[in-house]
Structure 1
């Protein structure tokens, strides 16, 4: 699989590539056959032998899922918790953090809508304040502004690594160093970066990181995971506990798990979790470095080609950019462009202005068309998109 054109073999192992031009990998990527086969095999085992027996027989493979995720992140498997979505994983650690009146939560302009809603809810409950760190000249989080804002009342730095509405890569490593020097917990939303960028939690200096299975990792929907560093776990009380995350040790006592499993609950979709493990192993076998290089190169070519189409404007910010490409077509709404591309069997998405209140309105931008490439996409597929956008513009 490490041949010169390794991505061609990966493409052959992805049945969906024969059906559609899939450029919605930031929404949900096409799974390789091994992921679908893994999920279906366990569902058949449940149907034939019962759910509990099938799970017991899969126990060794289930244990390896955390190990695979840990290896992907350069972490310890005890620091990994499984969840049914990235949002649920993120919420598990955020809602365990204590806040008081006057405490400050620092975030970025590119922050994800669900995260901001959680900040605002907690601020309303506790009297904490939410502050948005400014952007630098490249449109990414301004690390100088972040450093200036640090004081004894900052209780959390939480940012989105790659926003849903553009190809920006925020300087997470620099943010992590500032947080570590200040002794402030750093929560990183890696929803769009896991699977397309190299994520090393030691290098990132993050205390917690959340990600889904369905996006660039190419796993099943309804899966996600959470990394939590031991030094942060020691300070937290999970908002929700059950007989999996804690042990009932006496009639009036319980003991919380010491590992990151303190953020899990007992019931899970075992087939989907096994599929997640297969997806992580598949990505690791290809090599995240090779994936990152190809994804970024394809996206940069797409940006350049789209910019050559009259009336089309690309809106991605940042000194570094990833596989997400957002653009507008003069005289056409994002919804119309998306719909017409779908009619041509070209999958894209729409980044809605209302989901990026700190960002798109400040740049006077409407909803954007989002095309997100993956390593299994080809230059011919990108050209199909560019040609189709030109047709839509003219009709």
Structure 2
């Protein structure tokens, strides 16, 4: 059992989870927002399939685990409240997002609404869409708490012509959780597609695509889901699939019906390519099952509790400023120091057995307001309260 249930509360079995997580024996790992520590069942699933491929061949190995491949779609669907036919495997969250975005049949003048904290790779796609299709990208300002301003979004939607609302559920750099359900409701009410970049939230928070009003959602394996690198997935709502025209088509996505005709698969796997890492897909499915067994509510409660403990402790360190915003905060904690650079702090912490990362927002629509690099310490449920205290003590020692 990964979860202990009592009449009062549900909590994770931290001893068992850490026994499943070899990396916790070597350092205080606070980089779940970059690449978390995979549990042993995920490692075992990947290695077992690679071993099978070495013994009988890649094609034959895939045939032998067809039931497990099918279950990976079922597990990912259950993770986000979807149907298996609405899930496509991808090599990353970026590729999943790209597959969704580039399938939208944009027309000249179509408006795309996004946020000031959009990821740079997504912003590049907006520029390309403007060049190719004549779309117009508009940035919805932040509200007082740093999250997307819902009143401004509603006003922008009311002006009409919005083809897409694209939202990052959790920016990578300032700890907030954007109000995805409210955004989804507004987009649906005005007939706009809603694309949610959930690369930081899947595996950290309970996700229900129906409740969020999501049409398209992209996610990765390597972050809070604790899956292998080189894996991700796309959710595409069944009702919007007929509206989408995938930019890349191969024999996994469609069938040739004549010399100059083809038909797409009826499900989300029209976004897949035939060649992929089967071992990675099985590892991703295993990671989804692991999170489901643990329980997303239990995960979210623990992550938020650890992050709150870290923010409070950092606030007592002289010269340190915590930069996180948002009414609802995630497990991503960002901070800076009055005189020491983020790179100096991250290097110094590494020498003391604490893994954090430099978070540099490489792009902002309001470029003049681009913040300096910060330290990003992103907790996960496999961390302990003692590790949080150890990390802060290491920081105090480093700063002198």
Q: Assess same fold via TM > 0.5.
A: yes
Kindly indicate whether the alpha-carbon contact (under 8 Å) linking 2:314 and 2:322 is maintained by their aligned counterparts in 1.
Answer: yes
**2:303 equivalent to 1:295:** yes
1:101 Cα deviation from its structure 2 partner: 2.5
Q: Alignment partner for residue 371 of structure 1, among 367, 373, 377?
A: 377
1:127 Cα deviation from its structure 2 partner: 1.8
The aligned residue for residue 112 of structure 1 is 119
Q: What residue ranges of structure 2 are gaps of 5+ in the alignment?
A: 5-10
Shift in alpha-carbon separation, 1:5–1:239, aligned structure 2, 3 A: closer
Tell me, in whole angstroms, the C-alpha distance in 2 between the residues paired with 1:5 and 1:25. Answer: 17
Shift in alpha-carbon separation, 1:190–1:81, aligned structure 2, 3 A: same
Q: Alignment partner for residue 389 of structure 1, among 385, 395, 400?
A: 395
Kindly indicate whether the alpha-carbon contact (under 8 Å) linking 1:353 and 1:360 is maintained by their aligned counterparts in 2.
Answer: no
1:226 Cα deviation from its structure 2 partner: 0.3
Q: What residue ranges of structure 1 are gaps of 5+ in the alignment?
A: none
TM-score, normalised to structure 1, is 0.97
Tell me, in whole angstroms, the C-alpha distance in 2 between the residues paired with 1:226 and 1:353. Answer: 25
Kindly indicate whether the alpha-carbon contact (under 8 Å) linking 2:12 and 2:294 is maintained by their aligned counterparts in 1.
Answer: no
Kindly indicate whether the alpha-carbon contact (under 8 Å) linking 1:329 and 1:393 is maintained by their aligned counterparts in 2.
Answer: no
Residue 354 of structure 1 aligns to a residue in which SS?
A: coil
The aligned residue for residue 142 of structure 1 is 149
1:359 Cα deviation from its structure 2 partner: 6.7
**2:22 equivalent to 1:15:** yes
Instruction: Note the 1:323-338 alignment, pairs <5 A.
Output: 323-338=331-346
Kindly indicate whether the alpha-carbon contact (under 8 Å) linking 1:86 and 1:191 is maintained by their aligned counterparts in 2.
Answer: yes
Tell me, in whole angstroms, the C-alpha distance in 2 between the residues paired with 1:360 and 1:36. Answer: 41
Tell me, in whole angstroms, the C-alpha distance in 1 between the residues paired with 2:74 and 2:360. Answer: 36
1:137 Cα deviation from its structure 2 partner: 1.1
User: Could you give the per-residue CA deviations for residues 126-166 of structure 1, whole angstroms, max 9, x where no partner exists?
Assistant: 22111110111111101000000013311100010001112
**2:201 equivalent to 1:200:** no
Tell me, in whole angstroms, the C-alpha distance in 1 between the residues paired with 2:34 and 2:22. Answer: 18
The aligned residue for residue 213 of structure 1 is 221
Kindly indicate whether the alpha-carbon contact (under 8 Å) linking 1:353 and 1:361 is maintained by their aligned counterparts in 2.
Answer: no
The RMSD of aligned alpha carbons is 1.2
The aligned residue for residue 71 of structure 2 is 64
Tell me, in whole angstroms, the C-alpha distance in 1 between the residues paired with 2:215 and 2:302. Answer: 29
Question: Number of residue pairs matched?
Answer: 392
**2:185 equivalent to 1:172:** no
Q: Alignment partner for residue 319 of structure 2, among 311, 317, 320?
A: 311
TM-score, normalised to structure 2, is 0.96
Residue 387 of structure 1 aligns to a residue in which SS?
A: helix
1:360 Cα deviation from its structure 2 partner: 8.0
The aligned residue for residue 52 of structure 2 is 45
The aligned residue for residue 7 of structure 2 is none
1:254 Cα deviation from its structure 2 partner: 1.2
Q: Moved runs in structure 1, 4+ residues, more than 6 A?
A: none
